[in-house]
Structure 1
Amino acid sequence: MSSSNSVTVQILDKDYSIICPPEERSNLVSAARYLDGKMREIRSSGKVIGADRIAVMAALNITHEMLHRQETPEVASGGTTREQVRDLLERVDSALADDTGTKNG
């Protein structure tokens, strides 16, 4: 990969150059911002000292959030994603049926 595929992100005031595909750049930057925010929260609490320990605590917190969302996705979104997609498909089918009926009639 070339250096044009390199993205520099800043986490706790340190720059990190990371090579990634161009289509993943925005996701990488978003992830770095999220991690930086979590690490800053932990550092500002004053309970954890040292970048390594802060990074581990941030990783544990983020992993916990992710696992919790996987366990209860319907609570966070007001219904499962599958149900939302099914509802959306039904609405699209209905709209297409209405449109087809209008053109033929």
Structure 2
Amino acid sequence: MNQPLTVTLRILDKEYQVACPPEERYNLEEAARHLDNTMRDIRNRGKVVGLERIAVMAALNISHEMLSGNLQKGRLMSDQQQQITELTNRLDQALARHQE
């Protein structure tokens, strides 16, 4: 198993040292970039003051994005499952007619 490495992440002009497995480095850096961008957007809107409040608002926004995405993914999977069921029924009917 690979040894964890320490990655330096820069989020809202502060550096954080985070240990992670080498194969997860890219995902960690992408997550940090997303968090940094979200926090900068919130800060630049000027309605939220203070690093802690900006971080909480960013966490809420990202959580909402994730949950909304999961709901949408669930709906798409349900729609796809329904289409597969309908296609299976059509195939069964066509095979039944062919066997007659």
In the superposition, the TM-score normalised over structure 1's length comes to 0.68
Q: What is the deviation of 1:73? A: 1.6
Gaps of 5+ in 1: 84-105
Q: What is the deviation of 1:74? A: 6.4
Gaps of 5+ in 2: 81-100
- For the aligned residue pairs, the C-alpha RMSD in angstroms reads 2.5
In the superposition, the TM-score normalised over structure 2's length comes to 0.71
| 1:20-69 deviations in Å (ceiling 9; x for gaps) | 11010000000000000000000000000000000000000000011111
| Higher-RCO chain (CA-CA 8 Å, sequence separation at least 6) | 2
Q: What is the deviation of 1:72? A: 1.3
Give 1:10's aligned residue: 10
Bigger Rg, structure 1 or 2: 2
* 4+ aligned runs moved over 2 Å, structure 1: none
